[in-house]
């Protein structure tokens, strides 16, 4: 049976998905949660499509393909668990920030006891953020770095997978694309280090993929290069979390705290009238961050369900 049409259709699906993601990267703030949700959506849709491809190819029962599929979905599961764990540990941070903003919004001024409490809350919130960074760095070192995630720009010429139209070749190419998408999510939401983030292999130019079935590699390579360039320009050698909402909320908190300390009167009262706009911005930042983080966790849970369903379906098919 000629499987080439089904495989070509799958590669076209990858191409369209990565093309859309490239446009999303350009049109959104760098590493915004909205963009990161789009990255996760790509992982979900690519997984769904590979399950469809298995059924279209009528692969033999008990074949090597099933072990390869199970290995890749296990990798997706493990890394997404790290993502969910990291985001869940951020709850103390963004809930504390939201509480501070809500309190400030309700007052025209802070009496001395409330002033002391609010400034303590600012300090505790910043401590929570620092704890998150420390724990996230540990997660990357212990759970992610041993996996050696890399995006291989030269994947289409690997001798072992020259026949990229059989299922093993398809899954190899998908694994490479998935690695890029997972690196984006990890660096955006868990921890970024200039020494270890966005590594690649192969020196081939993205435009040198001449096989039309491999157009998705052009978009993947361009996206990878865009990310490396943007990170170098915006962050340089500074480690941390790249998520736009996380960084924006942190900056807004620092600005408001500085203004509060500047406006402390002799009796300990703090007038808030002059910094009302900064308080409103602080509330928007933390409310948006909280909403985005919670939506992302819901989306990850959906992906877990899809992986379970896909594995059951293909294992039952193989019985």
In a domain, 300, yes or no: yes
Q: What is the pLDDT of residue 153?
A: 78
Residue 129, domain member (yes or no)? yes
% of the chain at pLDDT higher than 90: 62
Q: Does 39 map to a domain?
A: yes
> Which element (helix H / strand E) includes 70?
helix 64-89
pLDDT at 315: 85
Inside any domain, residue 98: yes
Question: Which pair of structure tokens corresponds to residue 263?
Answer: 């406006």
pLDDT digit string, tens, across residues 76-124: 999 999 999 999 989 989 999 999 999 999 999 999 999 999 999 999 9
d(CA 199, CA 194) in angstroms, rounded, equals 10
- Establish if 319 belongs to a structural domain: no
Number of domains in the chain: 1
Q: How many CB atoms lie within 10 A of CB 59?
A: 20
Residue 318: is its pLDDT beyond 60? Answer: no
Residues whose CB is less than 8 angstroms from the CB of residue 293 and which lie 6 or more positions away in sequence, other chains included: 33, 87, 90, 91, 94, 245
- The answer to whether residue 92 is domain-embedded is yes
The DSSP letter of residue 204 is: -
> Which residues share a beta bridge with 264?
270
Kindly state whether residue 141 falls inside one of the protein's structural domains. Answer: yes
At 215 the pLDDT is 82
- Averaged pLDDT for residues 5-29: 92
Task: Kindly report, residue by residue over 304-317, the tens digit of the pLDDT.
Answer: 999 999 999 988 86
Q: Per mean pLDDT, which range of 3-12, 32-41, 228-237, 259-268 is the poorest? A: 228-237
Q: Are 110 and 272 in contact (CB under 8 A)?
A: yes
- For residue 44, being part of any structural domain is answered with yes
DSSP string, 106-141: T-SEE-HHHHHHHHHHHHHHHHHHHHHHHHHHHHII
pLDDT digits (tens, 9 = 90+) for 178-205: 999 999 999 999 998 876 666 665 554 4
Q: Is the pLDDT of residue 49 over 90?
A: yes
Tell me, what's the pLDDT at 167? 85
The residue range of the domain holding 28 is 4-314
């Amino acid at each position: 049976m000629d499987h080439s049409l089904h495989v070509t259709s799958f590669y076209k699906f990858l191409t369209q998905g990565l093309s859309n993601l490239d446009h999303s990267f350009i049109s959104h703030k760098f590493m915004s949660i909205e963009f990161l949700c789009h990255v996760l959506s790509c992982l979900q849709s690519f997984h769904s499509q590979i399950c469809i491809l298995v059924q279209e190819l009528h692969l033999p029962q008990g074949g090597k393909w099933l072990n390869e599929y199970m290995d890749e979905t296990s990798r997706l599961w493990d890394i997404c668990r790290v993502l969910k764990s990291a985001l869940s540990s951020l709850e103390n941070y963004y809930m504390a920030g939201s509480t501070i903003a809500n309190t400030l919004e309700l007052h025209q001024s802070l009496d001395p006891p409330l002033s002391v409490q609010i400034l303590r809350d600012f300090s505790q919130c910043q401590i929570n953020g620092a704890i998150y960074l420390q724990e996230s760095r540990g997660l990357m070192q212990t759970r992610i770095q041993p996996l050696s995630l890399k995006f291989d720009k030269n994947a289409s010429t690997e001798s072992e997978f020259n026949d990229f139209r059989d299922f093993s070749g398809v899954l190899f190419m998908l694994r490479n694309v998935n690695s890029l998408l997972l690196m984006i999510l990890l660096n955006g939401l868990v921890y970024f280090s200039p020494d270890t983030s966005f590594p690649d292999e192969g020196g081939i130019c993205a435009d040198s993929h001449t096989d039309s079935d491999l157009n998705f590699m052009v978009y993947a390579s361009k996206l990878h290069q865009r990310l490396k360039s943007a990170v170098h320009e915006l962050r340089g050698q500074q480690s941390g979390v790249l998520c736009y909402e996380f960084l924006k909320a942190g900056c807004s908190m620092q600005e408001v705290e500085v203004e509060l300390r500047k406006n402390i009167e002799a009796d300990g009262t703090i007038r808030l009238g002059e910094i009302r706009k900064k308080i409103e911005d602080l509330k928007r930042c933390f409310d948006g961050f909280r909403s985005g983080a919670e939506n992302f966790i819901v989306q990850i849970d959906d992906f877990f369900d899809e992986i379970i369903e896909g594995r059951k379906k293909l294992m039952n098919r193989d019985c």
